[in-house]
């Protein structure tokens, strides 16, 4: 074929797409109609539209004829509907209905209580779904953006700013273009990371990747990223005239509704302009090494208010029309012990946002801003549709509660209960933190942003039930969260927040426990449930100041698909700081970094072991320790055993050894002293006596498990230097253990101290 048309072999992808447009359009029409993706006349559902989402349908007051009459009056004869599926359970009826108008289809769930008449309930549920579909279709043509010469408008409310529907491009989104834009945005998000990692100076960002990128649509809804969108909350407390070249900075959790949860996290927000209008935002936030306050690294364990934790920055324009606000930058850098490192990290975050901005503009230039906007809407709606199914399939219709505890707040108070109740009504999910302990005097409070918790729920459900789903903000309207004021998860200003990561990580254990009631075979046990920090600062032998913060990891829980990982991060994409890096740039030698034998809970699927890291310190200075799970064990599930707790020691040069609490500042160290930092393990999943003896033997040979634990916890008898299995003794031991033990509990919490 190339001989007949030699130019064909050199066609660009754009040319190839154009030459096959008719075929792609046919594929698009078929798939978009089937999937119910957005058309150019779509409008997002409003808050009023979403009020109808409950088990008692919003249309209960009408009969089916009212909705039918409304559709006829609105669309004439150009509409049709179809019930794709329906289920009747727990006294209610749920249906999935497709409404098609002029070839454009929308699918929505509808629900209604049966009240003894399933036929009428099916009608009400269908009516409910049709009303939602009609609301999604809308009856208004989207307004074109104002030309570039239009007067500037205030952008306090993101949704009220210039829309993404520019006159440039036009046309209709097809499935191939949607795929190209989706993957381009995924790559742009990772490019933002790459730019930051290559430019930052601090090990916590450069090596451990404690940073979070995001790309949003013009309304501030996250299209790709790690954290849910905080843009509307960030701009709510401050009015800005957004212009090309602007860069907004802030770090105060109380000024952004908890979008960031302590003041070490600095947020950068960049509005993306194309043809005179805002087509989206790029944003990143990263953990700064030091932001002032009484102790190095700015996370004092003894803080009693946020005023004692460092410099709070409200939303400000760090750059305006591309011009740096040098006075603001000087003031900020004057309030940190690490100005050079903070400056480098800050500029690297801005550079990462600029990289994302560039890629969005390129997409708008290639496909047109109108097509780009349609793609963003389609990606959001696709995730929403997938999440609806996950909610219906995996959440209980009756409220289910679960409790776990944070051990202490660093000031001698605790433990602090975290209680979560979960249920669904139709395809909407409800998460209620009522019953959680009052806010702590110490800095473990977690000022939980509504959107952030929805993001946590989405991450958990997507990764557990369907990892192929694109994670974005599309499902947020399906999640309803209750955060009682004055509690550990919604403290009142000016509660201290610096050590909030222990509460943050413990909420994943609570969430997993609450969801396990409805789908125990899909649940996990508890993990190490903390965010262990080692902080070391001082002056080295050459007179240079140094400051280190390292995040350590622990045991990941046993899971339905296999064992928990040993010494692994609970947060995606985090990495450890290489030993070579630590020993090159800091006065220390790492004498040990090992998995701690027997710290993972026994189970059919073993909990991951915690780790032990031994720091041999070579310079005088001060050490801070942040950790938890030193009293409450990570619980096991479905017969699995709990994991081991954490522990810390200070070993002086002369050999004197003393234990350290899990949260402490100002541990003065001298050359030759050692810190032993041991993290908690993960809980086990399933009956340990059902684990394959050969797998138990392998764990013993790899020094993940002792021969004593193999016998006592797993009923596997080993002998000899090569740990051979005594199969007869193993069978007898297991049979005897099963006869004599009590019924296996759903949860095994181990030893618990009263709240």
Mark which of 141, 158, 177 sits at the end of a domain: 141
State whether 8 and 95 are in the same domain. Answer: no
pLDDT of residue 170: 54
pLDDT over 90 for what percent of the chain? Answer: 60
State whether 596 and 680 are in the same domain. Answer: yes
- Which residue in the block uniquely carries the two structure tokens 């559709």? 71
On whether residue 752 sits in a domain, the answer given is no
On whether residue 630 sits in a domain, the answer given is yes
Global confidence as pTM: 0.74
On whether residue 13 sits in a domain, the answer given is yes
Strands (E), 375-525: 400-406, 416-425, 428-432, 479-482
State whether 14 and 84 are in the same domain. Answer: no
Q: How many CA atoms lie within 13 A of 233 on its CB side?
A: 20
In this structure, of 20-29, 80-89, 363-372, 621-630, the range with the lowest mean pLDDT score is: 20-29
Mark which of 141, 172, 189 sits at the end of a domain: 141
pLDDT of residue 367: 95
State whether 2 and 137 are in the same domain. Answer: no
Output 216 or 30, whichever has higher pLDDT.
216
In this structure, of 97-101, 103-107, 408-412, 533-537, the range with the lowest mean pLDDT score is: 103-107
**Residue 521's pLDDT band (boundaries 50, 70, 90)?**
confident
**Residue 90's pLDDT band (boundaries 50, 70, 90)?**
low
On whether residue 746 sits in a domain, the answer given is no
- Which residue in the block uniquely carries the two structure tokens 């993001």? 455
Per-residue pLDDT tens digits for 131-189: 877 777 764 323 233 333 333 333 334 443 333 333 344 578 888 999 899 999 999 99
Q: How confident is the model over 713-733, as a mean pLDDT?
A: 96
Phi-psi region of 616 (alpha: psi -120 to 50; beta: other; left: phi over 0): beta
Segments in 166-283 forming alpha helices (H): 175-199, 203-206, 231-236
Q: How confident is the model over 542-569, as a mean pLDDT?
A: 94
Output 140 or 599, whichever has higher pLDDT.
599
State whether 13 and 121 are in the same domain. Answer: no
Asked if residue 154 lies in contact with residue 177, where contact means CB atoms within 8 angstroms, the answer is no
Beta-bridge partner residues of 107? 98
Number of domains in the chain: 3
Nearest to 498 by CA among 410, 416, 407: 410
Q: Please, which residues have CB within 8 angstroms of residue 468's CB and are 6 or more apart in sequence?
A: none
Per-residue pLDDT tens digits for 276-313: 999 999 999 999 999 999 999 999 999 999 999 999 99
On whether residue 454 sits in a domain, the answer given is no
State whether 586 and 630 are in the same domain. Answer: yes
Can you tell me whether residue 249 is helix, strand or coil? strand
Mark which of 141, 166, 193 sits at the end of a domain: 141
On whether residue 739 sits in a domain, the answer given is no
pLDDT of residue 753: 60
Per-residue pLDDT for 250 more than 80? yes
C-alpha distances in angstroms, 573 versus 182, 193, 208, 212, 288?
20, 11, 8, 10, 18
Asked if residue 637 lies in contact with residue 605, where contact means CB atoms within 8 angstroms, the answer is no
pLDDT over 70 for what percent of the chain? Answer: 83
Please provide the DSSP assignment of 460-494 as one string. Answer: HHHHHH-TTSPPSGGGGGGEEEE--TTBTTBPPTT
Q: Which domain holds residue 69?
A: 47-141
Nearest to 338 by CA among 548, 89, 486, 503: 548
Can you tell me whether residue 658 is helix, strand or coil? strand
Please provide the DSSP assignment of 3-45 as one string. Answer: TT-TTGGG--HHHHHHHTHHHHHHHHHHHHHHHT---TT--PP
CA atoms of 341 and 328, how far apart (whole Å): 17
Neighbours of 322 (CB within 10 A): 10
On whether residue 206 sits in a domain, the answer given is no
Q: How many CA atoms lie within 13 A of 689 on its CB side?
A: 16
* Rg, the chain, Cα only: 28
**Residue 105's pLDDT band (boundaries 50, 70, 90)?**
confident
State whether 134 and 1 are in the same domain. Answer: no
Per-residue pLDDT tens digits for 671-698: 999 999 999 999 999 999 999 999 999 9
State whether 614 and 654 are in the same domain. Answer: yes
- Which residue in the block uniquely carries the two structure tokens 């979560």? 420
Asked if residue 199 lies in contact with residue 344, where contact means CB atoms within 8 angstroms, the answer is yes
State whether 26 and 51 are in the same domain. Answer: no
C-alpha distances in angstroms, 306 versus 41, 213, 372, 496, 547?
47, 25, 41, 4, 22
State whether 618 and 590 are in the same domain. Answer: yes
Structure tokens at 231: 């843009």
Q: How confident is the model over 210-232, as a mean pLDDT?
A: 85
State whether 579 and 682 are in the same domain. Answer: yes
On whether residue 335 sits in a domain, the answer given is no
Q: How confident is the model over 21-32, as a mean pLDDT?
A: 43
State whether 25 and 65 are in the same domain. Answer: no
pLDDT of residue 48: 36
Per-residue pLDDT tens digits for 605-652: 999 999 999 999 999 999 999 999 999 999 999 999 999 999 999 999
């Amino acid at each position: 074929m190339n001989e007949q048309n030699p130019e064909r072999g050199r066609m660009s992808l754009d040319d190839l797409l154009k030459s096959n447009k008719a075929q792609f359009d046919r594929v698009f029409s078929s798939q978009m109609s089937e999937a119910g993706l957005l058309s150019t006349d779509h409008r997002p559902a409003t808050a009023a539209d979403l009020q109808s989402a409950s088990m008692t349908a919003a249309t209960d007051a009408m009969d089916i004829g009212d909705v039918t009459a409304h559709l006829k009056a609105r669309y004439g004869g150009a509409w049709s509907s179809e019930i794709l599926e329906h289920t009747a359970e727990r006294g209610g009826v749920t249906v999935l209905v497709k409404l098609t108008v002029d070839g454009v289809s929308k699918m929505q769930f509808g629900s209604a209580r049966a009240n003894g008449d399933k036929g009428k309930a099916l009608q009400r549920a269908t009516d409910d779904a049709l009303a939602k579909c009609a609301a999604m279709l809308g009856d208004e043509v989207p307004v074109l953006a104002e030309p570039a010469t239009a007067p500037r408008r205030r952008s306090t409310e993101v949704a009220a700013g210039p829309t993404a529907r520019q006159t440039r491009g036009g046309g209709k989104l097809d499935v191939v273009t949607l795929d190209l834009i989706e993957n381009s945005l995924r790559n742009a998000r990772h490019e933002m990371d790459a730019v930051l990692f290559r430019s930052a100076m601090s090990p916590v960002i450069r090596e451990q990747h404690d940073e979070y990128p995001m790309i949003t649509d013009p309304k501030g809804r996250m299209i790709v990223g790690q954290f849910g969108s905080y843009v509307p909350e960030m701009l709510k407390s401050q009015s800005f005239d957004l212009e090309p070249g602007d860069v907004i900075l802030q770090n105060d959790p109380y000024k952004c509704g908890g979008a960031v949860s302590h003041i070490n996290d600095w947020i950068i927000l960049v509005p993306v302009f194309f043809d005179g209008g805002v087509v989206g935002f790029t944003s990143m936030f990263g953990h700064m090494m030091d932001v002032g306050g009484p102790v190095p690294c700015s996370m004092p364990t003894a803080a009693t208010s946020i005023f004692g934790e460092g410099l709070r920055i409200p939303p400000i324009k760090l750059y305006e029309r591309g011009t740096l606000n040098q006075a603001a930058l000087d003031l900020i850098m004057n309030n940190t012990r690490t100005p050079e490192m903070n400056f480098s990290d800050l500029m690297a975050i801005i550079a990462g946002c600029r990289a994302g901005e560039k890629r969005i503009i390129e997409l708008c230039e290639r496909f047109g801003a109108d097509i780009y906007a349609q793609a963003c809407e389609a990606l959001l709606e696709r995730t929403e549709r997938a999440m609806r199914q996950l909610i219906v399939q995996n959440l209980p219709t009756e409220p289910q509660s679960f409790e776990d505890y944070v051990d202490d707040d660093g000031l001698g108070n605790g433990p602090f209960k975290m209680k979560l109740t979960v249920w669904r009504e139709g395809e909407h999910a409800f998460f209620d933190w009522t019953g959680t302990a009052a806010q702590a005097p110490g800095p473990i409070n977690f000022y939980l942003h509504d959107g952030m918790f929805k993001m946590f729920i989405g991450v958990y459900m997507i990764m557990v039930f369907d990892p192929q789903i694109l994670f974005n903000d599309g499902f947020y309207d399906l999640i309803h969260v209750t955060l009682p004021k004055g509690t550990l998860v919604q403290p009142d200003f000016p509660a201290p927040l610096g050590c909030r990561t222990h509460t943050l990580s413990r909420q994943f254990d609570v969430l997993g426990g609450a969801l396990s009631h409805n789908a125990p075979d899909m649940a996990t046990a508890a993990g190490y449930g903390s965010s262990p920090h080692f902080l070391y600062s001082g002056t080295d032998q050459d007179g240079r100041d140094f400051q280190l913060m390292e995040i350590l990891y622990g045991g990941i829980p046993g899971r339905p698909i296999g064992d928990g990982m040993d010494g692994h991060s609970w947060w995606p994409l985090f990495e450890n700081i290489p030993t070579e890096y630590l020993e090159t740039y800091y006065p220390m030698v790492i004498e040990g970094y090992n998995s701690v034998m027997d710290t993972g809970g026994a189970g059919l699927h073993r909990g991951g072991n915690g780790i032990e890291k031994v720091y041999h310190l070579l310079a005088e200075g001060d050490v801070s320790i942040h950790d938890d799970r030193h009293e409450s064990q990570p619980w096991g599930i479905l017969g699995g055993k709990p994991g081991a707790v954490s522990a810390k020691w200070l070993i002086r040069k002369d050999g004197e050894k003393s234990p350290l609490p899990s949260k402490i500042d100002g541990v003065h160290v001298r050359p030759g002293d050692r810190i032993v930092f041991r993290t908690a393990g993960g809980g086990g999943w399933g009956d340990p006596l059902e684990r394959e003896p050969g797998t138990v033997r392998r764990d013993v040979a790899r020094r993940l498990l002792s021969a004593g634990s193999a016998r006592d916890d797993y009923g596997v008898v080993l002998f000899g230097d090569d740990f051979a299995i005594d199969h007869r003794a193993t069978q007898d031991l297991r049979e005897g253990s099963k006869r004599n033990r009590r019924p296996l509990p759903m949860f095994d919490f181990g030893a618990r101290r009263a709240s």
